Structure 1
Amino acid sequence: MKKFMQKKLNQKGLTLVELLAVIVILGIIAAIAVPAIGNIITNSKVNALKGDAHNVLSAAQMYFTEKGGESVTQAELITNGFLEDAGGFAAATGATAATVTKSTDVAKGNTITGAAVAKGVKVSFAASTKKDITDAENKGTTGTVTVTR
């Protein structure tokens, strides 16, 4: 009997119950983490598309300062060297080309109209100013900026 007890005390390892408990805990952690990571990825896509809109607005401001005019498309900005590429507004992604309209109200700022797309996320701008874009939440519709997933 002593030999049997010695063997039992010297054995090391996990029982089936302990192993099952660890697997359940890992499953709970994964169930919490996966949706959170998905939201982070989606929000970063939305913020990138908003950044593209800011770039187009800035390029348009330089265009208006140098060449004048009342409105300009992103294609004109690219052609004239004020913008390198269309970013999320590229037609190949299913987006709508951006058009910037010069504002007569300096305090309000120029407005952008169009839709930018990035892998399942679409952000639409309807006469949106830089302030509208910055203030918009990453979900649903806020003012003139609409986020669609």
Structure 2
Amino acid sequence: MAFSLSKLLGKSSKTETTDSVEAIINDVQNKPFGVSESNVLYAGLNELGGYFFFQTVIVGQLSVKSKVGAELYFIGEDNFKLQLHSDMPEFESEGSDIKGRHVTKIDFAIEESDVKKLEKATLKSIQLIVKKHDIVFSKYVVLDASDEEE
């Protein structure tokens, strides 16, 4: 999975006073994994040398500099719960040319057995906890079937 930083930062250089989830989704070409009130979560699994990572990119109002890492919680149907810890303790949000929009990249280590459980799970929400931020994302669902690729 690869993210183009220019696509995540926004395709226009204009400044706006407010940024919305809808504007972020329209500006970024990747399909969202989850949405919150003011942030969009883009995510995917990746494997490198036998180690698995759940890569996330949060685009929106989240602006954070961490030296202690983050935690990601998946909550799903049938009492499914999975907790992941960030791979690296230090990371920092990057600003964008759109006022109020930041891009935060966080990779989470995940065991191969948990990858299989996550792929089978029906998720209800994804919770990110980093420093004083506690953001709950709902699973992004495309309502218009014409938007999906065949």
TM-score when scaled to structure 2? 0.26
Higher share in helix: 1
Higher share in strand: 2
Structure whose alpha-carbon radius of gyration is higher: 1
The structure, 1 or 2, with the larger RCO (C-alpha pairs under 8 Å, 6+ apart) is 2
